[in-house]
Structure 1
Amino acid sequence: MTSYRIALNFEDGITRFVECRAGEKLLDAAFRHQINLPMDCSDGVCGTCKCRAETGSYDLGDDYIEDALTADEAASGLVLTCQMKPTSDCIVSVPTTSAVCKTGQQRIAAAVAGVAQHHDAAVVLELDMEGSGLAFLPGQYVNIDVPGSGASRSYSFTTAPGENRLGFLIKKQPGGLMSSWLSHAKTGDRLTLTGPMGSFYLRDTDGPLLFLAGGTGLAPFLSMLEVLARKGSTQPIHLVYGVTRDLDLVLVDALDAYVARLPGFRYTTVVADSTSAHPRTGWVTDHMPETLLGDGTIDIYLCGPPPMVDAVRSWLGEKSITPRSFHYEKFTPNLILKESA
């Protein structure tokens, strides 16, 4: 039987996935997965179940009234989940928290498959999941419990959704909880993950993309690039990857591999250290591909520490550049600070 995977994104950043059968209404599919989406009448009359379809195709039928969903609202992507019948995979934003819908975060068991040190800059952590591959949106993150500490840290996936082996790029912090644990982690050590979470994820588009990564903010873009490569994307994609020191430039070989796999992909590396021999020094904003930014058709994705995110936002304002869409994520060494789209 044909079915579609629907990502439900809640206001508190939690994402849950449900399988919706062909011809099945999303509200019914969610209830079948024990997720109680907002509803009252379930007949297309009250509008209580109104959500926003971010991506995907669907049929709303004509059994609802104008007071519940106006033509303008439907044209803008608003849907009634009691009437929406998906005809493809979809992403749907739910205007309430996961707790209100009587659901919550997934707890995922995994074991260490590999720990690769990249100088004193970063660690690539690979985990093998128990059970089937994890569903998430490329760009999202999970919280990983640090064994024995009672604390967790947030990390974006570097791998594509649905894989049993998950990858993460983790900044090394002297004395940091996760960094200290990773220094003696062994293959087979068990970890617990919570998620997936986050509103920073790749949207469907055929237009040009500009990715701006600061340090280990490269991680979510590796997941996005893998998804784009598997789709056979030919759209223009430019990544500007900025770091503080030469040693912070990690996984450049992975970017070279994507240049080979994605005909429209190019990347630029930038080192902030003015004493560096790197051919491009300074800030990411000093090396923006301005020829791609002029006509307002580009989608910009930005992931990095707060000063970098703030600097890019200010630069775009000073240049009066308004992209078609702008999605950003700030992070500190310990957690995701803020997301916006």
Structure 2
Amino acid sequence: MTMSCLTLPQPGRRIAVGDTRTILEAALDAGIAYPHSCRSGRCGACKSRLVSGHVELGKHSPFALSEREREDGLILACRAVPADDVVVEWLDDSFATAQPVMQDAEVVAIEAMTHDIVALRLQLADRQNFRFAAGQYLSLIMPGAPPRNYSMASRPDEELVELHVRAVPGGRTSGLIHASLEPGDTVLIQGPSGSTYLREAHGGPIIALAGGSGLAPVKSIVETALLSGLAQPIHVYFGVRAERDLYLVAHFRALERRFPNLRFVPVLSQTAAKGWRSGFVSDALTEDHRDFSGAKAYVAGPPAMVDAAISVLAARGVPASDIHADVFFTPEASDNNAA
């Protein structure tokens, strides 16, 4: 196997990379907290500068990396395989660099949120050593099932860590959680990870779009923003298929009454129901807003929903640097992303 040397000046590390490994895979395997989200060339979170050397760049979205950016020496770490020795710098200087830690966690409670989503509340063995930013995720590890990534729905200041787990058809990990996990059981977690987290220094409007269990990181982001005193307009769009897929509506309605800068909009895509808005969440966003000037967007959900939302935001002039997306793949589509 041909090996290349990957130099990362920001963490001050040099690592060997096999001829089929991407820069992101090599960095994460080496325990480096590299900014990333979708791992599939869709979101641009791992956009980096190729300082020297050459890479083979795999298929990716033109939104995540344009032809002009490629000409300017930018790459996507999740799609770039070194062709020789390379030096690479990531672009997101605000990246939360807390190193992932592995520890035990006790199941405190499991609560049904919908017909196929449960809220899993965990007491970590060493909560003080698990410092995450609102919007990040962890990897849940259980015997007899592959690790799966789940976003934190709880705020960073809360003692219990809350995850929202959707029952994926044929999914071994989510199946075990729904069918056999009980309060008092112990699981293993590793984290935090992910670069789709709240940028508290941003003063412009916040747009958050969630699909299904993608509401988990959005809940953490929105609650943290509000309780931190951020007073700019915060628009939350929650897209689901049918009324039975809705959850936490009363919770967000209560937040609306408490914080006048918050607006929460549930949208049903497949089944019209009295009292609910129907259509696609990305269409609802464009119907409600003509001007996205100065906005920062957080998007979490299934691939089709995230792609549509990113397209709408980009078409309305929101730069890629202000769109933070977390794509929730099912296990059949990816073994690496939150689902």
TM over 0.5: yes
Aligned counterpart, 2:137: 141
Which runs of structure 2 are paired with 1:181-260 in the superposition (5 Å)?
Answer: 181-182=176-177, 183-204=179-200, 205-260=202-257
What's the CA shift for 1:131? 2.6
Give yes or no for the alignment of 1:160 onto 2:155: yes
What amino acid sits opposite 1:137 in the alignment? A
**CA separation of 1:15/1:223 partners in 2, compared to 1, >3 Å: closer, same or farther?**
farther
Aligned counterpart, 1:178: 173
Partner SS for 1:273: coil
Equivalent position to 1:114, from 98, 109, 113? 109
Looking at structure 2, the residues matched to 176 and 336 of structure 1 have their Cα atoms a distance apart, in angstroms, of 11
What's the CA shift for 1:292? 4.4
Partner SS for 2:224: helix
**CA separation of 1:271/1:92 partners in 2, compared to 1, >3 Å: closer, same or farther?**
closer
Which structure exhibits the higher relative contact order, with contacts defined as CA atoms closer than 8 Å and separated by 6 or more residues? 2
What amino acid sits opposite 1:228 in the alignment? A
Structure 1 window deviating more from structure 2 (217-226 vs 158-167): it is 158-167
TM-score by length of 2: 0.67
- CA deviation map 1:203-257 (0-9, x unaligned): 1212100001011111101111221122122110000100011111111122123
**Kept after mapping to 2: 8 A contact 1:171/1:333:** no
Aligned counterpart, 1:268: 265
Aligned counterpart, 1:25: none
Looking at structure 2, the residues matched to 207 and 149 of structure 1 have their Cα atoms a distance apart, in angstroms, of 46
Partner SS for 1:181: helix
**CA separation of 1:53/1:198 partners in 2, compared to 1, >3 Å: closer, same or farther?**
closer
Which runs of structure 2 are paired with 1:1-341 in the superposition (5 Å)?
Answer: 12=27, 15=33, 54-55=93-94, 91=95, 105-133=100-128, 134-146=130-142, 148-182=143-177, 183-204=179-200, 205-288=202-285, 292-294=289-291, 296-317=293-314, 319-323=315-319, 325-334=322-331
Looking at structure 2, the residues matched to 296 and 247 of structure 1 have their Cα atoms a distance apart, in angstroms, of 35
Partner SS for 2:127: coil
**Kept after mapping to 1: 8 A contact 2:148/2:337:** no
Partner SS for 2:93: strand
What's the CA shift for 1:309? 1.3
Looking at structure 2, the residues matched to 202 and 211 of structure 1 have their Cα atoms a distance apart, in angstroms, of 11
Looking at structure 2, the residues matched to 262 and 225 of structure 1 have their Cα atoms a distance apart, in angstroms, of 11
What's the CA shift for 1:291? 5.6
Partner SS for 2:277: coil
What's the CA shift for 1:194? 0.8
- CA deviation map 1:124-168 (0-9, x unaligned): 10001113332011111011012x214111100001114331001
What's the CA shift for 1:175? 4.1
Looking at structure 2, the residues matched to 292 and 173 of structure 1 have their Cα atoms a distance apart, in angstroms, of 34
What amino acid sits opposite 1:142 in the alignment? L
**CA separation of 1:278/1:178 partners in 2, compared to 1, >3 Å: closer, same or farther?**
farther
**CA separation of 1:166/1:216 partners in 2, compared to 1, >3 Å: closer, same or farther?**
same
Looking at structure 2, the residues matched to 126 and 209 of structure 1 have their Cα atoms a distance apart, in angstroms, of 27
Gaps of 5+ in 1: 1-7, 17-47, 56-90, 99-103
Looking at structure 1, the residues matched to 210 and 277 of structure 2 have their Cα atoms a distance apart, in angstroms, of 15
Aligned counterpart, 2:19: none
Partner SS for 1:151: coil
What's the CA shift for 1:261? 3.6
Identity among equivalent pairs (%): 29
TM-score by length of 1: 0.66
Looking at structure 2, the residues matched to 338 and 293 of structure 1 have their Cα atoms a distance apart, in angstroms, of 32
What amino acid sits opposite 1:114 in the alignment? A
Partner SS for 1:54: coil
What's the CA shift for 1:338? 6.9
What's the CA shift for 1:326? 1.2
Gaps of 5+ in 2: 1-10, 14-23, 35-86
- CA deviation map 1:98-144 (0-9, x unaligned): 9xxxxx64102110000011342210100011133320111110110
Larger Rg: 1
Looking at structure 2, the residues matched to 270 and 161 of structure 1 have their Cα atoms a distance apart, in angstroms, of 28
What's the CA shift for 1:263? 2.6
**CA separation of 1:329/1:51 partners in 2, compared to 1, >3 Å: closer, same or farther?**
closer
Query: Across the two proteins, how many residue pairs are aligned to each other?
Result: 255
